[in-house]
Amino acid sequence: MDTPPPKTEPTEPTDADIAAFQAQLGRPPRGLRAIAHRCPCGNPDVVETAPRLEDGTPFPTLYYLTCPRAASAIGTLEAEGVMKEMSARLESDPELAAAYRAAHEDYIRRRDAIEVLEGFPSAGGMPDRVKCLHVLVGHSLAAGPGVNPLGDEAIAMLPEWWRKGPCVNPCGSGETAEGEQG
């Protein structure tokens, strides 16, 4: 990727944001607190969720990636073995391991500022391994560059998913920009 998407400030979700989320994931949002990052196209691509869903179920994933184009590109990286390679580097690179542990602590601190989930991990395998690049990318986009080193690395490997325009039309019938059902 030539240029990573810029950090955006969290915002209250609008009706259009909620419609975009539904089109992106094919379901209504659960535990939606804020739009944590916006794609350069304007749609949400990362949402902040409550540490507990409306029914009280713990939901430790604070930053949830919603853009189907970004998610697909991340899935390709996962299939290519990027997580395994990153996990191996954590074992052999103490500096990277320390930065990743700091990312884990940042994630927990942000989640605990909303509600403490005692005994629940952060997400994505932090702090000892890489289990989900989607979470790491979501954290990097929401928190900004320099907070999650492996999330930043994954973003740098991604194509510019927004270049084709919005992935969904939030004012439409739930169809993606490509005409497929969202």
- Give the tens place of pLDDT for each residue, 87-121: 999 999 999 999 999 999 999 999 999 999 998 88
Q: Do the domain assignments include residue 165?
A: no
Q: Which long-range contacts (CB under 8 A, 24 or more apart) does 101-108 make?
A: 101/126, 101/127, 103/127, 103/136, 103/139, 103/147, 103/148, 103/149, 103/150, 103/151, 106/139, 106/143, 106/147, 106/148, 107/62, 107/63, 107/139, 107/148
Q: Name the pTM for this structure.
A: 0.90
Cα 49 to Cα 30: distance, rounded to the nearest angstrom? 7
Question: Is residue 7 in a domain?
Answer: no
* Section 140-167 average pLDDT: 95
What whole-number distance in Å separates Cα of residue 151 and Cα of residue 112?
A: 20
Flag whether 9 is in a domain: no
With respect to residue 181, please indicate whether it lies within any of the assigned structural domains.
no
Residue 171 lies in a domain: no
Taking 90 as the threshold, does the pLDDT of residue 170 lie above it? Answer: no
Question: In the chain, pLDDT over 90 holds for what percent of residues?
Answer: 80
pLDDT at 23: 95
Residue 2: the pLDDT is 61
User: Does the residue 6 lie in any domain?
Assistant: no
Residue 78 placed within a domain = yes
State how many domains the chain has: 1
Q: Work out the mean pLDDT of the chain and round it to a whole number.
A: 91
pLDDT at 127: 96
Q: With respect to residue 5, please indicate whether it lies within any of the assigned structural domains.
A: no
Mean pLDDT of all residues in 10-29: 94
What does R_g of the chain's alpha carbons equal in angstroms?
16
Judged against a pLDDT cut of 90, whether residue 4 lies above it is answered with: no
